[in-house]
Amino acid sequence: MAKVLALENAAYGQSSGWRKGEDLVDALPYIDTLPPELKQQVDALIEEELKKSTKKPADYLREMPPMPTTAFEGHPMLANEFERVKSKAPMAPLDMTRYRLEAPAATKRHDFGAWKASVDNAHSQLEHQYLRITNLELMLKYGDKNWRAQGQLVDSLVKQYETELAETKKQITAVNLERKLQQTAAGNELRKAETEYQELVLKNIEIEIACDRLEKEISGNVTMQQQE
């Protein structure tokens, strides 16, 4: 497993992207503790740091790869719809006249073209109804089988996604466990170093006290020798 505690970014001043020129800080959440009385102070420091930052929410998106260009060659309908959405124009209402079976208007009762259009519309609607009946018959004959097949496909997809989810959770748990183990080891090293530091400080204090005592004894002996 990779060293999850290692910082992948470059050192200060050498990183790129939105972290360029900024300090790279890591923490040991399994080891570091924050006393309740210091939480407000830490929150104030974070707010102050956020106010000093020059980064805005939009800056984070600039470092992401650009969106792929959409080509509408050969698709004028898609191109027109895209332009309509882009210009925020309302969608045109649906034309419902083709779904109405009406005779020509009174002013066109002797117009052969108007009657032909009405008859053609009647034929279209009749064919549409015939197609609906055919689809209903097909559904009655094969619909249940298709639904079962679709259900089996959905079940297999669900099981596949559940397996992937379980594997992902397993990997997350493994990473968190590795982080905890590494941070526990790092915490032991830090506590050991802190103990050694305190021992060395105490030893230095004892040495300093002993040196002061020796200096006083030497100074006293020199004074007695001078008096003799």
List pLDDT tens digits, range 123-166: 998 999 999 999 999 999 998 898 999 999 999 999 999 999 99
Tens digits of residue pLDDT in 111-127: 889 899 889 989 998 99
Would you give the DSSP letter of residue 220? H
| Every domain of the chain and the residues it spans | 28-62
Kindly indicate the confidence band of residue 203, based on its pLDDT and cuts at 50, 70 and 90: very high
Nearest by Cα to 23 from 32, 33, 14: 14
Segment 201-220 shows an average pLDDT of 90
Comparing CA positions, the residue from 139, 137, 159, 156 lying closest to residue 147 is: 139
What distance, in Å, lies between the first and last C-alpha atoms of the chain?
Answer: 78
Is 160 within 8 Å of 3 (Cβ atoms)?
no
Q: For the whole prediction, is pTM greater than 0.85? A: no
- Cα 212 from Cα 206, distance rounded (Å): 10
